[in-house]
Amino acid sequence: MRKYSFLRSTTWLGWFALTCVAAALCLYLAQWQMSRNDHLVAENAKITENYDAAAYNSETGLPLFEDYDDSRTWHPVQLRGSYLVQDTVLVRNRPHDGRVGYDVLVPFRTTEGTVVAVDRGWIPTDDSANGMPSTVPAPPSGTVTVTARLRPSEGALDRGAPDGQVASIDLRDLSSRWGGDLATGGYGELVSEDPAAAATPQAPERPEVSYGPHLSYSLQWYAFAVLVFVAYGYSARQHVKNEEWDRAYAAEVERRLARYYDAEGNYIGEMDEDLVIRQLQMADDMPAHLKSLYRPKRTRATTGITDEYEEDALLDALETQHRQ
pLDDT for 132: 73
pLDDT for 69: 93
| 86, 107 contact by CB (below 8 A) | no
Separation of alpha carbons 204 and 13, rounded Å: 59
Average pLDDT, stretch 116-137? 81
Cis before 162? omega within 30: no
Is residue 206 situated within a structural domain? no
Is residue 29 located within the same domain as residue 63? no
Is residue 115 located within the same domain as residue 20? no
Q: How many domains does the chain have?
A: 3
**Residues spanned by the domain of 106:** 52-194
Separation of alpha carbons 128 and 116, rounded Å: 33
Is residue 211 situated within a structural domain? no
Averaged pLDDT score across all residues of the chain: 85
Backbone angles phi, psi at 186, to 5 degrees: -155, 170
Is residue 20 located within the same domain as residue 144? no
Average pLDDT, stretch 278-283? 69
Is residue 11 scored above 80 in pLDDT? yes
Is residue 37 located within the same domain as residue 121? no
Using DSSP, state whether 151 is helix, strand or coil.
strand
Is residue 314 scored above 70 in pLDDT? no
pLDDT tens-digit map of 100-118: 899 999 999 999 999 999 9
From residue 109, alpha-carbon distances to 84, 87, 152, 191 in Å are 7, 11, 18, 17
pLDDT tens-digit map of 195-238: 999 889 999 888 888 888 999 999 999 999 999 999 999 999 99
pLDDT for 131: 62
Residue 81: name the closest of 53, 105, 58, 65 by CA: 58
Average pLDDT, stretch 298-317? 54
pLDDT for 4: 86
Is residue 60 located within the same domain as residue 158? yes
